[in-house]
Amino acid sequence: MGRHGPTRTPKPEAHAGESPAEALRRVLETPGAHQAPACYDALSARLVGRAGFKVCFTSGFSISAARLGLPDVGLISYGEMIDQGRLITEAASIPVIGDADNGYGNCMNVKRTVKGFIKAGFAGIILEDQVSPKACGHTQGRKVVSREEAIMHIKAAVDARKESGSDIVIVARTDSRQALSLDEALWRVRAFADAGADVLFIDALASREEMKAFCAVSPGVPKMANMLEGGGKTPILSPAELEETGYKLIAYPLSLIGVSMRAMEDALIAIKGGRIPPPGSLPSFEEIKDTLGFNSYYEEEKQYVVAPAQSSSYWSGYYDNTSEASSPGDAKSRTETPQEPVIDILPQLYDLGPTGGRGPSTGMWSRTLRLRITGRDGVQKIDARIPAGFLEGMTKIIPGLAGANIMERLRNAPIDTESPQNGQILLDFEDAMGDRIQVFIE
């Protein structure tokens, strides 16, 4: 298939009844280093899953950019991250690790943050030891809280997990490599592991040697690498190299937001120049619909299709006599079709009386009327031809016809011989239920 074709790497098999945290822990237990592109909204989360990745994570940097259009310098709040995260986890088909910044306050704030991320559907949560306001770990001026406070934050997170009856994966991050030293960063991640963290993460390591030193700490506890694209402090290594170094998770925080920004800029330049983006950079409308799930939506919707409602009591007995049933089977078939309601018109519309005379309408029997009733929803309920002599009887069962001098209008109406199917309109009105009633002369 082409660049935007439907071919996708199969996504990992989901286990019935498995929680997001259980799914993530299953991934962590499987061999290899697992790539985790950063999503920032529901669409990007859906795309990561469709591409065949087993896990993804949210990037505070990217969410701040996409949701606020502002830099990652601590401006985005807990509430905004939870709101965005809930939309992401609902759209994602794979476990999502949420970026919770520094927990948004003291230990009590950390506990609230962990419980909120659990309720939002996250499989894991990243907590860092920066002071407020925090910022991207690869930018200047990083500052961290004390060792004691950093450890207490992780302990509070573990307690919140236990209190919630959850198994959310706690990823403990330190930014002390840039704020203080490599030795301090290594000391802190050891302490985080002892406090109950499930995954360890030192951001902004500056060399392969530093990365190896980190992976040697607390053997058996998974390590996370941050491959900050486009010029971060950490060397960009291949997944195979990172696995060999000792990493289990590989984060790519800027790829999706970065290429989205560039693609949107290029598209705007094209539009401003009177063009549209070239086919190679723009999926077809059908491909866009497939990605968003239009086709699966339509298939599921078919399960709940119902016949048009027949709420108007006055038309439920009408007979569409534009054609005659050739057999009892044909008549039965027609009665089961919602668009062709069937009635026995003769006994209902006209009472010949004890003498059998037709009264004042006798001279009208040679003329034909067309009765059309259209529901307020635009669905045609009735389209029937009837003898004009039934007009007086019709006033008994169709509200709104009574009181109209139909017979007088009929006597004065000329016949349109050139277009008998579109003759003069005798009546055209809406009844109390909003249905449109039209009577034509044919």
Q: Angle at the Cα of 421 (from 418 to 425), degrees rounded to 5?
A: 100
DSSP 142: -
The number of residues making up the chain comes to: 442
Copy the structure tokens of residue 87.
């939309």
pLDDT computed for residue 406 by the predictor: 59
| Ordered mean pLDDT values, 10 residues apiece, the chain (442 residues) | 42 69 97 97 97 96 95 92 98 97 96 98 98 69 92 98 98 95 98 98 96 97 94 92 98 96 94 90 91 92 77 43 43 44 39 46 61 82 74 56 57 54 68 78 70
- CA dihedral (375, 377, 378, 380) in degrees, to 10, reads -40
Closest Cα partner for 64 from 101, 97, 90, 116?
101
Q: What is the DSSP letter of 390?
A: G
CB 172 within 8 Å of CB 196: no
Question: Could you check whether the bond before residue 6 is cis, i.e. omega within 30 degrees of 0?
Answer: no
Please give the DSSP secondary-structure letter assigned to residue 310: -
Question: Is 96 within 8 Å of 57 (Cβ atoms)?
Answer: yes
| Amino acid letter, 188 | R
pTM over 0.75: no
Give CB contacts under 8 A, 24+ apart, made by 292-301.
292/43, 292/46
- What's the pLDDT at 358? 47
Helices (H), 129-228: 147-164, 176-179, 182-195, 208-215
Q: How far apart are CA 169 and CA 24, in angstroms?
A: 8
The beta-carbon contacts of 417-422 under 8 Å, at least 24 apart in sequence, are 421/370
Domain ranges of the chain: 20-252, 368-441
Residue 414: what pLDDT? 58
Q: What is the CATH number of domain 20-252?
A: 3.20.20.60
pLDDT at residue 418, rounded to an integer: 52
